Structure 1
Amino acid sequence: MRHCSVQVRGLLTRDELDRYNALMDVGHYLESQQRYDLAQTVQKEIDRLVQPAIERLKEKGRERDRQDQEFLRQIERLRAGEDEDDE
């Protein structure tokens, strides 16, 4: 079974995390029984389960990028204002 990243797990809701942990337990059991065909089905369900958290992580990254861009624009405006004062 493939775990999702710690970052993604941190963005799962409590219900999603409980379901994720239960599915991982089932998947590990199936692998221990060498039922890889069924474990693959469980893995696909886990992959679907974590998609909303992956989207939340992407949105956090986009928001951070927007904040960085705004910060850089503010710095540029301050520098432009200082240049005008120097003249």
Structure 2
Amino acid sequence: IDYEMGGVFLPQNKEYVNTTELVQLIAKVNGKELKLTSAFNSLVNLGIKMSDNFSKVFGSFVYDKKMAGGPGKEFDYETCSFHESIELTEK
């Protein structure tokens, strides 16, 4: 509105974020302990190869950083870092 821009915007962090990193940071900000295991990784990887639905749940999904609205474009909307955004969201 302020910049009189229209269209589809795809907000994203400057760097890609791993889901595990996201969950760990949320736990840390909330003063919680998080225990991770890799015991099921081979089963998850097998499921990803064998099932489209499994792949959607456990696979990777990212926006291409070159898509409109990405960092470095004419309109740079990122006002804080990934870490800061989690801290602000979780307060």
What TM-score do the two structures reach when normalised by structure 1? 0.27
Q: Highest CA radius of gyration, 1 or 2?
A: 1
Structure with the higher fraction of residues in helix conformation: 1
Which structure would you say has the larger RCO, counting Cα contacts within 8 Å and 6 or more residues apart? 2
